Amino acid sequence: MALRWTLGRLPELGPLDVYDLLALRSEVFVVEQTCIFQDADGVDKQAHHLLGRDEHGALKAVLRIVDPGVKYAEPSIGRVISAPAVRGTGAGRELMAFGIAHTRRLWPGQAIRISAQARLERFYREFGFRTVTEPYLEDDIPHVEMLLEPDTPT
C-alpha cells in the first residue's frame, strides 16, 4: 500500500489533519483497545506528527516524534498507529521506518526512546530497539521502555 507522507508540527498541519489524527488515535487507543485515558496530553504541542494518507486522502497511519526533554532526555516516538484497514500491509513498518529516519534527521547522533506496548516488543526489536525496563502498566496496558542507539559510523 502506497501512502503519501506528511510531517509537521501542529501549527504547520491543517485543521483537518489535526482532526483526522485525533480521530484515528481515539478509534484505536480508546475504542478498539477499550482504554479510557487523556490522549490530548499537551505533548502534541512539542512534537512533530507523521501522517500517512492513502490515494483517497484517508489517514491510515500516524505517529508523533516528541522533542528531547519533554518525555525523556532523548527524542521519542509515540502514539504509533496503523488503521485497522491497513494492518498486515506493511504500512506500520513503513510508518516506523519513516519515523526513525525523521527523528535521526531532526536530532542526529541521539538515541531514540519509546514506551512500547509489551505485546509489540518484537515489532520494535526488528528496528533495532532494545528493551531497557521491566514491564510496567500505563493506562492498564503492559508497556516497556525501549531504546534505539544512535547510528554509529562505519
CATH number of the domain bearing residue 90 = 3.40.630.30
The answer to whether residue 153 is domain-embedded is: no
Query: How many Cβ atoms are within 10 Å of 57's Cβ, its own excluded?
Result: 9
The answer to whether residue 154 is domain-embedded is: no
The answer to whether residue 56 is domain-embedded is: yes
**β-strands 59-66, 76-82: how paired?**
antiparallel
Each residue's pLDDT tens digit, 22-35: 999 999 888 888 77
Each residue's pLDDT tens digit, 37-71: 778 889 999 999 999 999 999 999 999 999 999 99
Structural domain range at position 83: 4-148
Each residue's pLDDT tens digit, 3-15: 999 999 999 999 9
What pLDDT score does 152 carry? 52
What pLDDT score does 140 carry? 86
CA 118 to CA 97: how far, in whole Å? 19
Please report which residue ranges of 11-138 form alpha helices under DSSP H: 15-25, 91-106, 121-125
The proportion of the chain whose per-residue pLDDT surpasses 90, expressed as a percent, equals: 84
pLDDT band at 101 (very low <50, low <70, confident <90, very high): very high
Q: How many domains does the structure of the chain reveal?
A: 1
What pLDDT score does 1 carry? 65
